[in-house]
Amino acid sequence: MASRRVGFCLSDKKRRRINLSAFSDLCAGRGIEVVEIDLSQPMASQGPFNVIVHKLSDVIVEAEYDSQSQQLLSNFQNYISAHPQTLLLDPLPAMTQLLDRFASYRIMSQLQNTLKGKSICCPPYLEINTSDPSVIQAAVRSRQLSYPLICKTRVAHGSRSHEMSLIFSEVRLCDVRSPCILQSFVNHGAVLHKVFVVGDDHFTVERPSLKNFPPGPCDRSTIFFNSHDVSKPESSSHLTALDDTMPRLPPPSSDAMVALVRQLRVELGMALFGVDVIVNIHTHTLTVIDINIFPGYEGVPQFFSSLLSYIESIMEKQGPSEPAVDPDLSPQPSHCHEELCPAGGDKF
Ligand SMILES: Nc1ncnc2c1ncn2[C@@H]1O[C@H](COP(=O)(O)OP(=O)(O)OP(=O)(O)O)[C@@H](O)[C@H]1O
Ligand SMILES: O=P(O)(O)O[C@H]1[C@H](O)[C@@H](O)[C@H](OP(=O)(O)O)[C@@H](OP(=O)(O)O)[C@H]1O
Ligand SMILES: [Mg+2]
């Protein structure tokens, strides 16, 4: 048996998307064994693991209402608690907060304070918990959100979390499906900058994105769309058609991107995440619109080599017999969102 073992605990969907056997071959060359963890079987008999890489977002979301998922999650948590020497990429509380857009936008909106001088912001938004259009209307007015508005589900991950809408006027606020985030739409020339983080490395790729819309309210029906139809590498939609007369904006400065990633690494205590950034066509402000757990890393050919280097670096710090906590990562931010609350969007 190889002396060092890395377990992967992934959903069927993620397993299909990630070529684990290619990663396993790469690891074998470094004396590391890759094991696919079957969550329905006792974990102790599949271990021991120096590191576990997981994407349990679906299980965590389902555990809210499904007892079988609850059981799987609690088996996993029990194993982790009983094996504190096993490093987890990424910690469950850190990940869990990103499943909730209310929590993740509080983190994003805090960035403009922590990264002063870098011209980084997050669009103004509201946390919506009511379906009463008159209450929503009053909240939008009082927060002075500008139209169009983009409406995003509160749950950030999973198949039902990418259905969104663009709302163009107060009368169409009846189309809001609560609970959700209502956020001002920012014109950005239909270019999305996806930042994929792997430990201390990050990689940026460009993707299609929603096109510019005339600012201000207008008499237009709500546009319902799935975010995966507009911002995947292969997306080609009338909603992303670039205006030829629109000059291309300069890409975000690498200095600002480095500062952004560094700050989020510390704040989230995570190593595998993605940040979606757009550039405001008027102010050129770098605008953070999304943080994703263990994203797809599509368009990043260095993903596996970078992941392997990161895993080796944390195993090295672990030492041969006494694995330690990754010192680069701050202590668990399960309490983080309380600290970040004051800067968040208003709640309705
Ligand atoms: N405030 C905004 N202003 C302008 N466009 C936006 C804004 N928020 C989101 N978008 C557009 O909508 C798309 C989807 O938004 P978002 O990234 O929040 O959704 P998601 O479902 O979480 O996506 P992902 O698949 O990256 O997780 C973005 O790629 C971008 O094109
Ligand atoms: O790599 P990008 O383009 O950022 O897209 C990711 C999305 O951001 C995630 O929301 C997807 O995860 P979920 O399917 O759990 O929502 C995630 O799905 P995956 O975990 O199957 O890779 C990706 O689609
Ligand atoms: Mg997302």
CATH, residue 12: 3.40.50.11370
What integer pLDDT is reported at residue 271 of this predicted model? Answer: 98
Beta strands in 65-148 (DSSP E): 87-89, 120-121, 125-128
| Same domain assignment for residues 296 and 338 | yes
Q: Whose CA is nearest to atom 9 of ligand 1?
A: 289
Predicted ipTM of the assembly: 0.98
| Same domain assignment for residues 31 and 158 | no
Distance 15 CA to ligand 2 centre (A): 12
In a domain, 161, yes or no: yes
| Same domain assignment for residues 35 and 107 | no
Distance separating alpha carbons of residues 227 and 159, to the nearest angstrom: 11
- 51 neighbors 87 (Cβ within 8 angstroms): yes
| Same domain assignment for residues 46 and 160 | no
- 194 neighbors 207 (Cβ within 8 angstroms): yes
In a domain, 322, yes or no: no
Among the three residues 36, 55, 89, which one is the final residue of a domain in this structure? 89
Q: What is the mean pLDDT of the chain?
A: 91
In a domain, 309, yes or no: no
152 in ligand 1 pocket by Cβ < 6 Å?
Answer: yes
Distance separating alpha carbons of residues 166 and 83, to the nearest angstrom: 46
Distance 307 CA to ligand 2 centre (A): 17
Q: Whose CA is nearest to atom 6 of ligand 2?
A: 295
17 in ligand 2 pocket by Cβ < 6 Å?
Answer: yes
| Same domain assignment for residues 81 and 192 | no
| Same domain assignment for residues 165 and 42 | no
| Same domain assignment for residues 30 and 174 | no
Among the three residues 56, 89, 122, which one is the final residue of a domain in this structure? 89
Ligand 2 atom with least separation from CA of 292:
8
In a domain, 305, yes or no: no
DSSP string, 143-194: HTPPSSEEEEESB-SSGGG-EEEEE-SGGGGGG--SSEEEEE----TTEEEE
What integer pLDDT is reported at residue 333 of this predicted model? Answer: 37
Distance separating alpha carbons of residues 291 and 16, to the nearest angstrom: 22
In a domain, 319, yes or no: no
Write the DSSP symbol of residue 63. Answer: T
| Ligand 1 pocket mutation, candidates 231, 234, 272, criterion most atoms within 8 A of CB | 231
Distance separating alpha carbons of residues 202 and 121, to the nearest angstrom: 20
Among the three residues 73, 89, 105, which one is the final residue of a domain in this structure? 89
In a domain, 249, yes or no: yes
In a domain, 316, yes or no: no
Mean pLDDT per block of 10 residues along the chain (348 residues) reads: 87 95 98 96 96 97 95 96 96 97 97 92 98 97 97 95 98 97 97 97 97 96 97 92 76 95 97 98 96 98 98 88 41 32 44
Distance separating alpha carbons of residues 292 and 286, to the nearest angstrom: 17
What integer pLDDT is reported at residue 117 of this predicted model? Answer: 87
- 193 neighbors 206 (Cβ within 8 angstroms): yes
Ligand 2 atom with least separation from CA of 298:
1
In a domain, 24, yes or no: yes
Distance separating alpha carbons of residues 25 and 104, to the nearest angstrom: 35
Domain of residue 45 covers 4-89
pLDDT digits (tens, 9 = 90+) for 180-236: 999 999 999 999 999 999 999 999 999 999 999 999 999 999 999 999 999 999 998
